[in-house]
Structure 1
Amino acid sequence: MRSISILVADDEEEIATLISIHLEKEGYQVRTVSDGEEAVRAVESQVFDLLILDIMMPKMDGYEVTRRIREHHNMPIIFLSAKTSDFDKVQGLVIGADDYMIKPFAPIELVARVNAQLRRFMKLNQPKADTNQKTCVEYGGMVISPEERTVTLYGKCIELTPKEFDILYLLASHPKKVFNVENIFQQVWGEAYLEGGNTVMVHIRTLRKKLEEDKHKTKWIKTVWGVGYTFNG
Structure 2
Amino acid sequence: MSNRSSVLIVEDDAEIAELISRYLENNGMAVTRIPSGETVDAKLAAGDFDILILDLNLPGEDGLSICRRVRAAHDIPIIIVTAQGEDVDKILGLEIGADDYVVKPFNSRELLARIRAVLRRTGPQSRVEAGPSNQIFQFLGWRINLLARDVVSPSGMKVAMTGAEFDLLHAFCENPNRVLTRDQLINMTHGPTAGPFERSIDVLISRLRQKLEKDPKNPAIIQTVRSEGYMLSAPVARI
2:126 corresponds to: 124
What is the match of residue 207 of structure 2? 206
Greater displacement, 38-47 / 160-169: 160-169
1:1-233 mapped onto 2 (5 Å cutoff): 2-82=3-83, 84-122=85-123, 123-126=125-128, 128-131=130-133, 133-140=134-141, 142-146=142-146, 147=148, 149-152=150-153, 158-192=159-193, 194-214=195-215, 218-233=219-234
May I ask how many residue pairs the two structures share in their alignment?
231
* d(CA) in 2 for partners of 1:82, 1:110: 14
Q: Is the 8 A contact 1:182 1:196 kept in 2?
A: no
Distance 1:125 1:68 in 2: 27
Q: Could you tell me which runs of 5 or more consecutive residues in structure 2 were left unpaired when the two chains were aligned.
A: 235-239
> Secondary structure of the equivalent of 1:130?
coil
CA distance change for structure 1 residues 12 and 215 in 2, over 3 Å: closer, same or farther? Answer: closer
| 8 Å CA contact retained: 1:78, 1:101 | yes
Deviation sequence 1:135-193 (CA, Å, 0-9, x none): 242305x4444425134265666543321222123213432122222222122123445
**Unmatched runs of 5 consecutive residues or more in structure 1:** none
**What's the secondary structure of 1:229's corresponding residue?**
strand
TM-score (ref. length: structure 1):
0.83
Cα separation, 2, equivalents of 1:103 and 1:148: 31
How much identity, in percent, do the aligned residues show?
34
TM-score, normalised with respect to structure 2: 0.81
RMSD: 2.8
